[in-house]
Structure formats: structure tokens, C-alpha cells
Amino acid sequence: MGEIYLDNSATTRVCREAADKVMEIMTETYGNPSSLHTKGFQAERELTAARETVAGMLGVLPEELYFTSGGTESNNLALFGAAHAQRRRGNHIVTTAMEHSSIMNTMKQLEKEGYSVTYLKPDKEGKIRPEQIFEAVTPDTILVSMMYVNNEVGTILPLEAVPQAIADANAPALFHADAVQAFGKIPVKPKKLKIDLLSVSAHKIHGPKGVGAFFLRKGVRIVPRAYGGGQEKDIRPGTEAMPLIAGLGAAVKALPDTAEEYAAMKKLSTYCRKRLSEIDGVTLNSPEDSLPYIVNFSAGNVRAETMLHFLSDKEIYVSSGSACSKGKESRILTAMGLPKSRISSALRISFSRYSTAEDVDGLVDALKEGLDSLTSKPL
């Protein structure tokens, strides 16, 4: 049957365009962008080109875009940077109970520093209601941070409600969005949604690991997390990781048309849901209107880790939740209030443009076999 890779929310296979660009920069255009010679100028042009490409995809100015090591650093830079810059204007922060660990653990640290954090709880479909945001934002709120798309169940959060909630409360809050799972899959336009800070990552869109981008709206001030030689206008100093940055630019250039790809993924997701619903004991955890790239389901009374290894032995790769959780019981599904039996048996399928209906068929056949042959203690 061959390998079936359905864990693209954890990471993606690097596309040929990005891999070739990384190799080119490492072996040919390898100068330091700050060097005042030809090799340096060549590298600087590559840096500028990558910045313009990513900025263009986001619909922002190139000077509003900064390169980081990935989504986690971008999220930390946004949260600490905004909170520390705003500390004299209040101490209240609003987020959700279904954020990525790079947000949740940063929030815990900010609470230790004296900030008050409100965590909006999702419903049983993993959705946050706009009314929750309006109720949570107060005149003391200095930051609202919400993910664009949930990484485990694929729900799309109501970011459009945040600017109005901030305005209604007359709050000084900045608005941050973690768009790591949304970028390249649906239109992500921070200016349209009045987002002040936004995080994206390369390795979720067939780019290299170790690089991401951070949007900081012109005129917004944050406190940097590091200090150095002035690169990235002192927001994120340090010699630029040019092979990775250029690889991110190449991956963005190679992205297919967003609307066409979304339609293809919707068709594949619908087919996957249909096939999964044919299996006794399988329950879907992702709602119908979630991002079609992600399908979360619970498989009978077989523990997720047991089924994951069964599938892996057949070269079928899925996950039991966020890759960062290392197999721990899903914090997201727990926040949704799902029964322990469903949480313990939950698996996540995540598609990419390389995924096919044949992949789904192979997975479903293996799942049926696994449910028939595996034994498990009652959950």
C-alpha cells in the first residue's frame, strides 16, 4: 500500500521548491545579509524577496513582517511583548482554553508576573461564541489572543468579534492571532480583521522547520524578548537564518490557489467523514463546519496510543492530538467537555495538498482491522 501520511497539522513534507531554495542559499548565496560585499548584497536581496512574498500573502507591508524561528517564538514575542508594553494601561488578558501550548504556557508565566487571564471555554463542538468575547473584554483588558484555527479539531474561531468587543469596552487592548494552522489554507488578512499581531510558521505549509514570521502592525509598540545587533529592526535580532527564510518564501510562492485547494480539501474531508461514519464505534469530534484539513474522531474503546502504533506499523501516520502534547490526554477535548472514553480514544487526521481519497481508504481499512483485532481494557 505504501506510506500514508496524515499528520500534516504536526508538520508537512517540505515541497521541492522550498528544499531547492534552501540548498541554493546554503551552497551558493550564503553571505550574511549585513555584510557590505557582493555575497552580502545577494543575501540581502533574498531576504527582501522572502519578506515581500510572505507579506504579500498576508496583505501587509513588508516592513510590518519579522522573521522568527517559528510559531512558538512568534507567539511568545507577541504575548510577552504586548503585555509588557501595555502593563501601565491594565493587567487583564483574554484568551481561550483551547490554545496551543506556546500560548497557554506563556499565559501561565504572565499570571505569575501578576497579570489576570480569562480563558474562554469552548462548547462540545470546540467552538467559541462571539458573546463570550464581548462578555470577557473589560476596560482593563490590554491584550486579546485567539487562535485562528484550532490545531486538534479544526474549528475556526470568531476573530471578527474581537475588534468590536475591544471597541465596545473602550479597552486599550492589542489583538493577537495565532494563525499557524490557518495560514496557506484560508485567506489570512490581518488588516481586514484589525489584528495587531499575528504568528505563522513555515513547516505547516511545506516549508522548512525552524522558521516563522511575525506580523506587527505599523505603529504598535512591543517590548523585544532579545537584544543584539539590530537585525529585524531590533524586534528579533540575530543573524538571519537565510536558508530557512528563503525556504519559507519559496514555500509560500508554491502554495496553490487558496480557494481551489480549500474546495479540494472540503471534498476529501467530506469523503473521509463518510467513510469513518461507516465504522461502528467511531464518533466524529470535529464539527461539520471546521477547517476541512483537520478531522478529529474517536475510535471505539481502543486507546489512541494503541491504535496509533497499530497504524504506524502499517506505515499509516496520524496523531493522537497536538504533536507538542507527546501523547498526553488532549487538553482541548477535555476543555470541550467530552467523555473520558472519547478523549482517550481520539485520533486526528490532517490533510495536505498531497493527500488523496486512496489515503483515506487505506486508513479506514486499517482502522477496521485494528478495531477488530485490538483488545483494550474499558476506558
Please tell me the predicted confidence (pLDDT) of residue 342: 93
Cα 4 from Cα 132, distance rounded (Å): 40
The count of C-alpha atoms lying within 13 angstroms of the C-alpha of 347, restricted to the half-sphere facing its C-beta, is 28
8 and 105 inside one domain: no
41 and 162 inside one domain: yes
What secondary structure does DSSP assign to 2-43, as a single string? --EE-BTTT--PPPHHHHHHHHHHHHTS---TT-SSHHHHHH
Q: Is residue 300 part of a domain?
A: yes
Least confident of 142-156, 187-201, 231-245: 231-245
Cα 271 from Cα 282, distance rounded (Å): 15
247 and 332 inside one domain: no
> Is the separation of the CB atoms in 142 and 303 below 8 Å?
no
Average pLDDT of the chain, as a whole number? 94
Cα 324 from Cα 328, distance rounded (Å): 9
- Three cell numbers written together for 232: 529585524
- Three cell numbers written together for 6: 496524515
Q: Where are the alpha helices (DSSP H) in the chain?
A: 16-27, 38-58, 71-86, 101-112, 130-136, 161-168, 242-253, 258-277, 304-313, 331-335, 340-344, 357-373
275 and 223 inside one domain: no
Q: Is residue 368 part of a domain?
A: yes
Q: What CATH number should be reported for the domain holding residue 247?
A: 3.40.640.10
Number of domains in the chain: 2
Mean pLDDT, residues 178-199 taken together: 97
Q: Is residue 378 part of a domain?
A: no
Mean pLDDT, residues 57-63 taken together: 98
9 and 47 inside one domain: no
9 and 63 inside one domain: no
- Provide the residue range defining the domain that includes 286: 4-13+256-373
Last residue of a domain, one of 221, 253, 285: 253
Please tell me the predicted confidence (pLDDT) of residue 338: 94
Give catalytic residues, as residue numbers: 324
Picking from 174, 234, 184, the residue whose alpha carbon sits closest to that of residue 212 is 184
Last residue of a domain, one of 200, 220, 253: 253
Please tell me the predicted confidence (pLDDT) of residue 67: 97
Residue 198: strand, helix, or coil: strand
Checking if the pLDDT of 103 tops 80, the result is yes
Checking if the pLDDT of 367 tops 50, the result is yes
Q: Is residue 340 part of a domain?
A: yes
225 and 260 inside one domain: no
Please tell me the predicted confidence (pLDDT) of residue 267: 98
Confidence grade of residue 377 (pLDDT, cut at 50, 70, 90): very low
Please tell me the predicted confidence (pLDDT) of residue 328: 72
Please tell me the predicted confidence (pLDDT) of residue 322: 52
Q: Is residue 379 part of a domain?
A: no
Confidence grade of residue 1 (pLDDT, cut at 50, 70, 90): low
> Is the separation of the CB atoms in 107 and 95 below 8 Å?
yes
* Tens digit of each residue's pLDDT (9 = 90 or more) over 257-276: 999 999 999 999 999 999 99
294 and 161 inside one domain: no
Confidence grade of residue 329 (pLDDT, cut at 50, 70, 90): confident
Cα 351 from Cα 348, distance rounded (Å): 10
Please tell me the predicted confidence (pLDDT) of residue 375: 58
Cα 255 from Cα 246, distance rounded (Å): 15
> Is the separation of the CB atoms in 121 and 335 below 8 Å?
yes
Q: What CATH number should be reported for the domain holding residue 332?
A: 3.90.1150.10
Last residue of a domain, one of 195, 219, 253: 253
More confident residue, 327 or 318: 318
* Tens digit of each residue's pLDDT (9 = 90 or more) over 9-18: 999 999 999 9
> Is the separation of the CB atoms in 332 and 150 below 8 Å?
yes
Q: Is residue 272 part of a domain?
A: yes
What secondary structure does DSSP assign to 145-178, as a single string? EEESB-TTT-PBP-TTHHHHHHHHTT---EEEEE
Confidence grade of residue 2 (pLDDT, cut at 50, 70, 90): confident
Please tell me the predicted confidence (pLDDT) of residue 34: 85
Mean pLDDT, residues 312-324 taken together: 83
247 and 268 inside one domain: no
Non-local CB neighbours of 218 within 8 Å, separated by 6+ positions: 61, 63, 64
40 and 183 inside one domain: yes
N residues, the chain = 379
Non-local CB neighbours of 22 within 8 Å, separated by 6+ positions: 14, 208, 243, 244, 246, 247, 250
Checking if the pLDDT of 320 tops 90, the result is no
* Tens digit of each residue's pLDDT (9 = 90 or more) over 216-243: 999 999 999 888 888 888 899 898 999 9
Torsion of CA 58, 63, 69, 74, to 10 degrees: -70
329 and 239 inside one domain: no
202 and 338 inside one domain: no
Non-local CB neighbours of 205 within 8 Å, separated by 6+ positions: 12, 183, 184, 251, 252, 255
